[in-house]
Amino acid sequence: MSERVEEVTHWWSLADRVTVIDVVGRLRARSVLEFGPGSSTVALVDGGAQRVDAAEDDLTWYNTHQRRLVANYPGVVRIYFYVWCDPLTIPTLDARRYDLGLIDGPREMPRRVATIKYALDHCAAVLVPLEHEDWRERFDGLLGPVVRFAGAGRSIEVIQTGPPSFAMALVR
């Protein structure tokens, strides 16, 4: 699969955090699959998630989050190292189903396309930060893969958050 997705990185804003907390609460999401653990993981737990399986493809960040997140949220947050590939497979997680998926990784934006597809295959709902101010016109960004992978039978709600994410697509 060849996707043209521009490289963009940022830190989470307060509006991003509030949106994640709101979505978790509104959906009563108890189990979450997250790509890209960090401050977003804390927002998931603060929103009410009782189990967060966070997937990380960078060994340095994997080790950091073992110390920071797993240690502070024992029994709730689990970090899983995976090797990125397209199509994506994570043998430890492949058979699991989740209430919600959150796409905040991997760091390289073009690789997020495979994580969006994986999350849509394993989660009842998926939240994807769109990460572009002109997200309405940018189907070469993350909105294009979200729309294409969502297919028939799923709804897409766009929640405007302001910079740096600008908007998040909630697929159900």
Residue 1 has pLDDT above 60, yes or no: no
- CA 30, CA 98: separation in Å to the nearest integer? 8
Higher pLDDT, 42 or 160: 42
**Domain map of the chain by residue range?**
14-151
Closest by Cα among 8, 3, 7 to 140: 3
pLDDT tier at 167 (50, 70, 90 boundaries)?
Answer: confident
Q: What is the pLDDT of residue 145?
A: 83
Mean pLDDT across 5-30: 81
Higher pLDDT, 117 or 165: 117
Average pLDDT of the residues of the chain: 87
Fold of 14-151: Rossmann fold (3.40.50)
Report the range out of 79-93, 105-119, 142-156 with the highest average pLDDT: 79-93
Q: What is the pLDDT of residue 6?
A: 41
131 φψ region: left (φ > 0), alpha (ψ -120 to 50), beta (else) = left
Q: What is the token pair recorded at 117?
A: 């597809």
Residue 101 has pLDDT above 50, yes or no: yes
pLDDT digits (tens, 9 = 90+) for 111-128: 889 999 999 999 999 999
